[in-house]
């Protein structure tokens, strides 16, 4: 890509990656046909579809229609394909549904981005409270229940999104009432609860820190539209500010990006809310801001690399603090190659102003780092090459095409086209 062009125009935000993969897992709870709409055309959806096929579900991903149709049999397999599971961390979301449906689940320890440890202890301890026996055997997470799971009161040591999702999905078919305290409050959790409720589950407290789940005997398949992707929307908003651009972000939900849009406004962006999204405009060099990542409704960790790229071209010194993952700053080495003045110390990074970024060859280490490096390349002098962009395909649909439509001078080399 060649830097120096402002982003201007309109983008449409698809359904959320961090929701649709869990919705696909939840389909296992109900025999019959579940249809998910507003599904992003990303690599992780294809991988999750393969995971479900391996469990016996006939899964079809219509990329043109943005739809996934999942036909779940009366009996599903309890052992997931290890190689597929290790490709995406979200695959752990099948654990709860399989234990609830089959009384047993065998799921390889998941893979995914190189952004630090994501301990599964919270998942395991919660399922144990529901009556399952959970252990790790030769790199495989194994959960067994001698009968129907039993409702319980569960306190999460950390408001883990994945654990909250697994325990809600396990609890909807458990006998009695399950109460999950210190639950994650992300919009994707509320989206999952909306799907489950439509399927016949009884859930109170969606979107709050306490979820109350009254178990039911069975669920029915439904048609459900995925919540828009707040991280994709936030990425385009940051890109508009970095390039001094003007971007209308259709389907973006400002209420899901409260603190993010507040920070961008403080950095110099003009944010205009509309009936179907919001518009971000900017002129001149951004002002520096300090950011601390926290579980929702705090600043999302998935926008941390993008905001560090923003700070690399901002006036003044900023302090960025990461409180969720322990290896988010790995990509700072790559951003430094472009001329960013960064100093990391534990879970902090200090970003000092620099006259300009200069194009170079850099490596994407994960989904969000890849997107952030591309945004940095759009404002760097000369040409920037971002390698291993298959990571970006895991979270952003038609990334290069969207940027081209906004005026960016960017192309994708054929060797970097990922196979779906």
Query: 110 CB contacts (<8 Å, ≥6 apart)?
Result: 85, 86, 88, 89, 90, 91, 92
**Phi (first) and psi of residue 293, to 5 degrees:** -80, 140
Torsion of CA 67, 52, 205, 133, to 10 degrees: 180
113 belongs to the catalytic site: yes
> Can you tell me the distance from the alpha carbon of 143 to that of 118, in angstroms, rounded to the nearest whole number?
18
**Phi (first) and psi of residue 331, to 5 degrees:** -70, -10
**Under 8 Å between Cβ of 164 and 184:** yes
Written as one string, the DSSP assignment of 197-250 is: HHTT-EEE-TTSSEEEEE--S-----EEEPPB-HHHHHHHHHHHHHTT-EEEEE
> Can you tell me the distance from the alpha carbon of 396 to that of 16, in angstroms, rounded to the nearest whole number?
10
> Can you tell me the distance from the alpha carbon of 300 to that of 159, in angstroms, rounded to the nearest whole number?
13
> Can you tell me the distance from the alpha carbon of 209 to that of 420, in angstroms, rounded to the nearest whole number?
37
Give me the catalytic one of 62, 74, 113, 326.
113
**Under 8 Å between Cβ of 2 and 409:** yes
50 is in an annotated binding site: no
Nearest to 29 by CA among 313, 265, 222: 222
17 is in an annotated binding site: yes
Q: Which residues are annotated as a binding site for phosphoenolpyruvate?
A: 17-18
Residues assigned a catalytic role: 113
Q: Which residues are annotated as a binding site?
A: 17-18, 89, 302, 324
Q: Which residues are annotated as a binding site for UDP-N-acetyl-alpha-D-glucosamine?
A: 89, 302, 324
């Amino acid at each position: 890509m060649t830097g120096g062009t402002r982003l201007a125009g309109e983008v449409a935000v698809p359904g959320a990656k961090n929701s649709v993969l869990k919705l696909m897992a939840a389909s296992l709870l109900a025999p019959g046909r579940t249809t998910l709409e507003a599904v992003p055309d990303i690599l992780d959806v294809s991988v999750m579809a393969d995971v479900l096929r391996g469990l016996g579900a006939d899964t079809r991903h219509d990329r043109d229609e943005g739809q996934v149709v999942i036909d779940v049999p009366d009996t599903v397999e309890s052992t997931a394909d290890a190689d597929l599971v290790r490709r995406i961390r979200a695959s752990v979301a099948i654990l709860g549904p399989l234990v609830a449906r089959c009384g047993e689940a065998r799921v390889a320890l998941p893979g995914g981005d190189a952004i630090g440890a994501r301990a599964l202890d919270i998942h395991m301890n919660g399922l144990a409270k529901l009556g399952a026996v959970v252990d790790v055997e030769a790199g495989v997470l194994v959960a067994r229940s001698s009968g129907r799971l039993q409702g319980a009161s569960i306190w999460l040591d950390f408001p883990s999104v994945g654990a909250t999702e697994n325990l809600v999905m396990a609890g909807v078919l458990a006998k009695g009432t399950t109460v999950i305290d210190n639950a994650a409050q992300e919009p994707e959790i509320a989206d999952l609860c909306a799907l489950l409720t439509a399927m016949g589950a009884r859930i109170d407290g969606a979107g709050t820190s306490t979820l109350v789940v009254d178990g039911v005997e069975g669920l029915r398949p439904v048609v459900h539209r995925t919540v828009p992707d707040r991280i994709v929307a936030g990425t385009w908003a940051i890109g508009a500010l970095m390039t001094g651009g003007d971007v209308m972000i259709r389907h973006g939900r400002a209420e899901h990006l409260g603190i993010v849009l507040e920070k961008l406004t403080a950095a110099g962006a003009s944010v205009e809310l509309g009936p179907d999204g919001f518009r971000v405009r900017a002129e001149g060099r951004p002002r520096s801001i300090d950011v601390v990542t926290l579980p929702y409704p705090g600043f999302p960790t998935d926008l941390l690399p993008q905001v560090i790229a923003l700070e690399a071209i901002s006036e003044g010194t900023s302090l960025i603090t990461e409180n969720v993952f322990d290896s988010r700053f790995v990509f700072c080495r790559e951003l430094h190659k472009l001329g960013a003045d960064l100093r990391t110390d534990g879970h902090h990074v200090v970003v000092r102003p620099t006259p300009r970024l200069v194009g170079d060859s850099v490596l994407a280490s994960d989904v969000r780092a890849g997107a952030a490096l591309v945004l940095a390349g759009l404002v760097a002098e000369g040409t920037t090459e971002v390698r291993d962009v298959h990571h970006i395909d895991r979270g952003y649909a038609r990334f290069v095409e969207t940027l081209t439509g906004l005026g960016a001078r960017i192309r994708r080399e054929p060797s970097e086209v990922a196979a779906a």
